Structure 1
Amino acid sequence: MITGMQGLDRITRLLTRRLLPGLIFCLFGAGLRAEPVLLVLSDFSPSYNQVRDAVMMTAQQPPVVTTPDQLTPTDSHRGTILAVGSRACEQMLSRYHPDTRLVCSFLPSTTFVQLKRQLLPEQGQPQVSAIFIDQPLLRQIRLAKLVRPDARFLGSALGNNSQSLRSELESGSKEAGLELQLSYLTTQDNPVEKLTPVIQNSDLFLVIPDSSVFNRAISKWLLYLSLRNQVPVIGFSESYTNAGATASVHSSPTQIGQQAGEWLNRLSAGEALPPPSYPAYFDVSINTVAARTLNLKLTSGEALEQELLRLEARR
């Protein structure tokens, strides 16, 4: 017969064997797994703060926020880092540690490609990805086709920072049934002389987000020439729509932050790092005055957005 003391001792040993590993994990293992993500803002400007706020609202585990000026030597060794903006991405790529999963967000796709090529040229398959701020060209081209369904010729221009987009622009135009009228602009070119024949021979004009081509002055000329030639302009920001573009597709800082927060949740759940991606969430804005001047019957930005989502869901 087992005495009371022997039974108690046996129960104690049994509980120790079963519960001790769990206690150790709770005290040490969970703490390691719960290491917070480092969120690096390029600075505390309003747009970056909006990305940060959306990440905080979406991510199940709030990240630790810092800026490039506040980084410590050990910060680059974090398990997961979210860099917001080109400056933050550049800093974290230059400090990249092979054991880190780095997500750059809220920066142009061309900027990310250039930075990665410059700062990680020898890396085979680094755990580095991105959420771009610009839209996929096919999304812009499809919007153009929705604005003018009977269009046959699509005009556009590329500069030094966007030449790598030529193949994507050509394939997207072909898929939409449009013939591409393309011009290349350098800083030495007269933009009016280069853009005028393209606009005159196009039914639509697509603006590529490239500061080496479309600065404020050139954009004003572009909008003037397109209106004079009755050619709708498809832009990439709400500002372009307000300035005179017929329609634009764009993503807000909040939308980029929401997508980034969702990525962090997927990573914390053990999923693989997603590949570099364009925004999943976007809005379409239309300029009703420009549309009316060009005799275009556009219902609303929301209706165009839903049609774009339907087209993308078919792929």
Structure 2
Amino acid sequence: MPRPDPHPFVSAPASLLAAAWLALLPGPALATLMQVDTPQGRFTCESSADTDYRQVLKLGDKILYRQPRGPDAPQETDLLKDGIIDRDLGCPSVVGHNGGHIVLRRALQPPQYQVDGYLLVDFTQDDPALIDLGTGHRPARNEDVPADQGLRITDGGLVLRYYGDLPDMLIQGDPPVDPAPAARAVLYSFSSGALQDLNTCLPLKEVPLFGDLGFLADAPDPARYLPAGVRIGVPRADVVATLRRYGTLYDPDDTDGGSTQTSPQLTIPLCGDANSAVMPLFLFESDRLKTVRFEGLEG
């Protein structure tokens, strides 16, 4: 089933949809040919005169997708075989890759709008999957890209930081009609296949972002992993304020897990625990943080 389109194409005269657009933005983002090696063979996207400017996706010698003649454009679902949104703007570019995981950037609007979508292609599966990582709004040419933006990809997963909009999967409740772009950071764990918003979780010290966090449940000194601002003995109000700064999705003073009237504890998702395998519990006594423990959750 096609994904909902968070950035419908800006209407324009049909003449603007011709190859002239391809010349407006240099570089591979609007290339007529894109190639990258994967464990399953070379992945190729072509949208050139040889294909009548219709998208053709190949893996080795096998054609995964060929855009049909007529008005139908690639629909883009959770599977690569259904095509990649191209808006008649050419093939996506490769942002980075590690083994069978390839991060792509494809134009969602004409070049002057500087709106790109990020996709992860998982070639470790027999039927390569597509994971939406969000939508980026690129700065003008005379603006500097913030130093903390970009892609970090390892054997365990990836972290992508960009200015724009979160993917629908990470939006709580109904997606806003006209979302305001903001600094985003998403984490994808290759082992769990789970996506996480790094702006709504608690970062830990001396703990890698990728890997099994189950060891925390048996940690002899759990407090050593807590970030600055969360220390044993500090007032509850200070702990709550710190958790809010780290982006907890709920108000700890207004939930069953955090209300001082109903329970002397509160919790927040952990950064890197994309599959929610471990829960941190902050336990209070006399309105001060008494202890912290990590509780393993059954999957």
TM-score interval (norm. to shorter)? under 0.3
Query: Of the two structures, which has the highest relative contact order with CA contacts closer than 8 Å and spacing of 6 or more?
Result: 1
Alignment TM-score, normalising by the size of structure 1:
0.23
Identify the structure with the greater helix proportion.
1
**Higher gyration radius (CA):** 1
Alignment TM-score, normalising by the size of structure 2:
0.23
